Amino acid sequence: MIETIASQKGYDITSPQLAEELDKQDTLAKFRDEFSIPTLRSILGENDQVKGSDLDQPCVYLCGNSLGLMPKRSRELVLQELDVWATRGVEGHWDHPYRRPWVTIDEVVKEPLAHLVGAKPLEVTAMNTLTSNLHSMLVTFYRPTTERFKILIEQKAFPSDHYAVSSHIQSRGIDPSVGLLTVAPRPGEHKLRTEDIIATIREDKEIAVVLLSGVQYYTGQYFEIEKITKAGHEAGCIVGWDLAHAVGNVPLQLHDWDVDFACWCSYKYLNSGAGGIAGLFIHEKYAKDFDKPRLAGWWGNDKSNRFEMLPEFQPSEGASGFQVSNPSMLATTSLLGSLQVFEEAGFENLRKKSVLLTGYMEKLLLTVLKDHHQAGHFRILTPKETDQRGCQLSLEFPERMMDVFDQLHARGVICDERKPTVIRVAGAPLYNSFTDILEGGCANSGKEEEGEEEEQEAGGCCCGTEDEEEDVSSGGGNGEGGETGDDDNDLF
């Protein structure tokens, strides 16, 4: 689509007119107004590099993979809850003027969460935080025997997953160096091949649980969840997924894919706020399996007699039976504000726009930083295939990543870095425009202002070689897409 419009209108890929035309044709553009976008002033203050700019204009926020922006209606809903608390006190549990009684507050997010992950409402609930939910699921589903006692994760899983899995293995009297199995990309590659994951599952008969990320946090790779889950079941394994970077980002059909369990946070693409309430999926086939061990608490008790305070735990059916404590009405309502916007926009529509935004960013980078790529100073780690990625592109700068990152931030482009060498950028279709992508993509190229072409030719990009400047140490599917992610982008 982007190439077609550019060709028809005679626009270059870096042309502001192309971005404006794409924004005009964007049927989801109205949802940008649903979000509070930080301004240059609020992010940068009176920064020298933005002198002459309108400091009250929005920054270029490409960090929804880390923390989503605040939905304006979340503020409104949370303020309503505070008013109810102030005026009703404990009565708000049952007598709620906005029809969200706190005693059933978790019920209001079940259906929209089910829509996003491809589940039945019975199979999902909002509770706890992501790692807490992983711990809960491992208590239930990791039942090691002398024959099967290993847990398989990807080599560079998010550290909290490593910690949680290792602690469970150790708590069962097993040495993590024996019980924790990792699968890695092939030498010289960055993405994990599905066939290698499946081969590992089939070959190691001691694997009890497969626990992978739906979207890999460092590279942005979207795993083939259905194929891997099927292979795991055929090998006799339980298969669970950490969907922190997948929910609200890529298509999910957890029920149809027969996933055993999944957990996710809600503060990234679901925009619930830092530390927001997390989510849990447990397949319907376990809904009435009350004999499975679990971490129990009163909120997981059957709702019909929860307040009878009986000594014997009688779990609710489905995912709700794994709840422990009553959920925060503020955290749940904050999530609800975002889920309402998702429902109005429709995830299929959002996915289509996401593919275009990510493809546009990729093409801009490959155009603008071409020379730096060819010189080995820049590459994209995220798969080029659109059915193997979501919103995120992971950009590797092997030598001077922090210099690039700092310059982007100084120009009002908000993204994040993961040491030693990666900058992550993500165009979130609910609130990012094509103009955002253009401005982010060309932020350090010299293309964003007329008259800087000579500076660009002279080496205006800050991802130079060690010979040019002292090296700065670094530390800490599904759509259609552009070309390979291994090219340079003048964008920085």
Which residues are known binding-site members for pyridoxal 5'-phosphate? 130-131, 158-161, 213, 242, 245, 267, 298, 326
Count of CA atoms in the C-beta half-sphere (13 A) of 53: 21
CB distance 246 to 216 below 8 Å: no
Domain-wise residue ranges, the chain: 2-66+347-457, 78-342
Compute CA 468 distance to the chain's CA centroid, rounded to the nearest angstrom: 36
The 3-state DSSP class for residue 130 equals helix
Distance between first and last Cα of the chain: 25
**Cβ atoms of 117 and 243 closer than 8 Å:** yes
Q: Which fold has domain 78-342?
A: Aspartate Aminotransferase; domain 2 (3.40.640)
Task: Give the Cα separation of 137 and 134 in Å (integer).
Answer: 5
Q: How far apart are CA 271 and CA 171, in angstroms?
A: 34
Averages of pLDDT over runs of 10 residues in the chain (492 residues) are 88 96 98 98 78 85 99 99 99 98 98 99 99 99 98 97 98 98 97 98 99 99 99 99 99 99 99 98 98 97 96 98 98 99 99 98 95 90 98 96 95 96 98 98 62 38 42 33 36 30
Residue 154 Cα to chain centre, angstroms: 17
Residue position matching structure tokens 């279709």? 429
Of 128, 118, 33, whose CA–CA distance to 345 is shortest? Answer: 33
pLDDT at 48: 61
**Global pTM?**
0.90
Q: Strands (DSSP E) along 24-158, which ranges?
A: 35-36, 60-61, 70-71, 124-126, 150-154
Mark the binding-site residues, compressed into ranges.
130-131, 158-161, 213, 242, 245, 267, 298, 326
Return d(Cα 53, Cα 65) in angstroms, integer: 27
What are the DSSP calls for 348-402, one per residue? HHHHHHHHHHHHHHHHHHHHHTHHHHHTTS-EE-S-SSGGGB-SEEEEE-TTTHH
Tokens (6 digits) for 224: 């083939």
d(CA 440, CA 459): 19
Q: How far apart are CA 408 and CA 389, in angstroms?
A: 23
Residue that is written with structure tokens 């955002």 in the block = 436
Main-chain dihedrals φ then ψ at residue 373, nearest 5 degrees: -65, -50
* Total residue length of the chain: 492
Collapsing DSSP to helix, strand or coil, 261 comes out as: strand
Q: Which CATH number describes the domain made up of 2-66+347-457?
A: 3.90.1150.10
Q: Is the peptide bond before 420 cis (omega within 30 degrees of 0)?
A: yes
Residue with tokens 């009176």: 46
Enclosing H/E stretch for 50 = none
Instruction: Output the six-digit token pair for 264.
Output: 């996710």
